[in-house]
Amino acid sequence: MRILAIRGENLASLPKVEVRFDTGPLAETRLFAITGPTGAGKSTLLDALCLALYDRVPRLLHAREAATEELEVPASDPRAIVRRGAAEARAEVEFVAQDGLRHRAVWEVWRARKRADGRIQNQRVRLFTGPDGDEREITG
């Protein structure tokens, strides 16, 4: 699998993040490091990858089981990563699989009525395949 892009919205403390691996200097390299100061979003970038592909956040798996006040879900629940005050959150990964096709995995969750004070809803994970502008959903 070759990752083309990782995107996230309202994950942890980041309102929006996008890293493209198919353009610029990252398009020409096979190995790279994710570096930066504390709080820059390195772990959140990896969280977005895991959410979109697996509906899991490995670093939360061993978190205390107490519910977070804002989300009313256990701290180990993937929905606990939703940014404070956000009405919805999303993680997306574009990749080319071994079949040679372009795919896009999407994880999303929202609060009731898409309001910041709404009750957190169940997350949805979908997989799309096909070229840009002509992709089709293959899961739902």
Element (H, E) at 42: helix 42-54
Q: Could you tell me the residue range of the domain that residue 31 belongs to?
A: 2-137
Q: Which residue has the tokens 């083309």?
A: 4
What lies within 8 Å, CB to CB, of 127 at 6+ separation is 103, 104, 105, 106, 137, 138, 139
Pairing of strands 88-96, 14-20: unpaired
**Domain total in the chain:** 1
Element (H, E) at 19: strand 14-20
Q: Helix, strand, or coil here: 80?
A: helix
Closest-CA residue to 132 (of 5, 29, 30, 27):
5
Alpha-carbon distance of 70 to 85, in angstroms, equals 8
* Joined tokens for residue 110: 């929202």
State the average pLDDT for the chain.
89
What is the distance of C-alpha 117 from the center of its chain?
A: 22
Report the CATH number at residue 91. Answer: 3.40.50.300
- Which pLDDT tens digit goes with each residue over 66-88? 555 555 788 889 999 999 999 99
- Which pLDDT tens digit goes with each residue over 11-41? 999 999 999 999 999 999 888 899 999 999 9
